[in-house]
């Protein structure tokens, strides 16, 4: 298929404002210190819906968006670097409609998926950048892809899912218990004017960074689980799909790194952990912002050379388990210290070429396949090409029995992953 850039034709752009004005006492949304150290980029989600008779009601998507924006008022604002806050004066969320000159089933490229987004992933944090942008992509077959981009400065992936769930609920006229978000994280984690670390992200697309999607289906998950079943003989719960995939890919990425350099080097392994409903007292599951920490573990060059899949299952499993347990302390006396250590460790290594930093983000539990705007649930969900090297994002499969791993690497590094015998054996 030729590049979708020539196939996606933007028909209209407009700003959708909240249906009621934001009160003056909510006009300045402060940032938490977690928000401050987040990379400058947009979180993106694309939901793909096949043709349905009700799918023509795009106007209802606009109307319902305006209806819920009063609850999600920062998403209609703009980020002010100078004041280190979100100006919530109802400038509006961007709403784009586009025609795509192909059928939904013709989508085969991964880099081309960025063309379905309303803005580039790295185009964030300037005063002219909408906090949230949405693009409705209409295909020749009658199907659509709803792409949502939201500034990571004010929202993580869980926040994006909260918004999509609320928007879909309003769009289909569901008047059961409403989804009411809160933006209280700066009360618990006040901003410190820390400044954003340099993650090397640019506002334009970086063609040297490429994306590969590896599907671990139910058979592959079962094979990996069998390999470590002896480690869980005394446990009521087997190794999770996410732990199996992160451990397997860690080994593959480190093998590839050794093959490229001709020698091992140390690594920092990180996995994002959602702190909602894990703190004491609990933060609401509808809390919006960046409510995350990092499970991190550092390995020496010698350790990376000698460790295998089983070792990584144990190491990463214990590290994540401890981090989840530590979430109970985050709102306590030493809670901020825990967050600073975990998040700061990752930020400090962002530009260190002497160590191989591998970052995992698990989006498999956020229910994107449940988002129904009134014309059924999506038959596929995806992200796009994220301009951060060695970033692996894990998504659920529609059947809820597998994992899609979206691997972001420099083009020269991807060759080694594509040739890895263990990956090819398990996933082909």
Asked whether the beta carbons of 371 and 165 are under 8 A apart, the reply is: yes
Going by the DSSP 8-state scheme, the letter that residue 36 receives in this structure is: H
**Angle ∠(394,385,5) on CA atoms, nearest 5:** 140
Question: φ and ψ at 210, to 5 degrees?
Answer: -120, 165
Three-state DSSP at 332 gives coil
- Tell me which of 35, 71, 115, 152 is the catalytic residue: 152
Question: φ and ψ at 325, to 5 degrees?
Answer: -65, -40
- Non-local (6+) Cβ contacts of 422 within 8 A are 248, 251, 252, 255
- Spacing of C-alpha 56 from chain mean position: 28
* Separation of alpha carbons 242 and 244, rounded Å: 5
Active site residue 236: no
- Tell me which of 87, 372, 410, 415 is the catalytic residue: 372
* Separation of alpha carbons 191 and 198, rounded Å: 18
Give the residue from 153, 208, 206, 197 showing the smallest Cα distance to 349.
Answer: 197
Tokens of 209: 């960074």
Active site residue 410: no
Going by the DSSP 8-state scheme, the letter that residue 283 receives in this structure is: P
Asked whether the beta carbons of 300 and 318 are under 8 A apart, the reply is: no
- Residues serving a catalytic function are 152, 372
């Amino acid at each position: 298929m030729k590049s979708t850039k020539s196939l996606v034709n933007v028909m209209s752009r407009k700003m959708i404002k909240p249906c009621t004005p934001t009160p003056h006492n909510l006009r300045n949304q402060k940032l938490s210190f977690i928000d401050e150290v987040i990379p400058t980029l947009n979180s993106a989600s694309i939901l793909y819906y096949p043709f349905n008779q009700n799918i023509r009601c795009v106007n209802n998507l606009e109307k319902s968006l305006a209806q819920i924006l009063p609850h999600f008022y920062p998403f209609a604002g703009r980020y002010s670097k100078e004041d280190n806050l979100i100006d919530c004066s109802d400038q509006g969320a961007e709403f784009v409609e586009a025609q795509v000159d192909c059928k939904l089933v013709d989508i085969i490229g991964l880099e081309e998926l960025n063309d379905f987004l309303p803005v580039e992933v790295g185009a964030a944090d300037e005063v002219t950048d909408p906090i949230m942008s949405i693009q409705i992509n209409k295909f020749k077959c009658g199907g659509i892809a709803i792409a949502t981009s939201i500034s990571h400065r004010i929202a993580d992936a869980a926040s994006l899912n909260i918004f999509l769930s609320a928007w879909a609920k309003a769009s289909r006229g569901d008047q059961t218990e409403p989804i009411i978000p809160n933006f209280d994280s700066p009360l618990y984690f006040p901003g410190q004017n820390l400044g954003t670390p340099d993650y090397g992200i640019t506002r334009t697309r970086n063609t040297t960074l490429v994306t590969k999607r590896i599907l671990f289906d139910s058979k592959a998950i079962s094979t990996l689980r069998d390999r470590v079943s002896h480690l869980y003989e005394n446990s009521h719960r087997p190794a999770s799909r996410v732990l199996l995939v992160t451990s397997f890919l860690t080994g593959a990425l480190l093998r590839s790194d050794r093959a490229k350099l001709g020698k091992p080097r140390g690594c920092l392994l990180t996995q994002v952990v959602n702190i909602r409903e894990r703190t004491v007292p609990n933060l609401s599951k509808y809390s919006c912002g960046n409510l995350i920490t990092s499970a991190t573990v550092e390995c020496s060059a010698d350790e990376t050379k000698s460790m295998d899949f089983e070792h990584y299952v144990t190491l990463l499993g214990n590290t994540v388990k401890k981090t989840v347990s530590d979430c109970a302390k985050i709102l306590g006396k030493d809670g901020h210290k825990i967050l600073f250590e975990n998040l700061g460790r990752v930020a400090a290594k962002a530009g260190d070429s002497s160590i191989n930093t591998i970052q995992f983000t698990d989006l498999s539990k956020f229910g994107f396949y449940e988002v129904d705007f009134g014309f059924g649930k999506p038959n596929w969900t995806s992200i796009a090409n994220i301009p951060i090297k060695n970033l692996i994002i894990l998504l659920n499969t529609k059947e809820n029995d597998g994992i899609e791993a979206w691997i972001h690497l420099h083009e020269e590094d991807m060759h080694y992953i594509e040739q890895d015998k263990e990956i090819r054996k398990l996933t082909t």
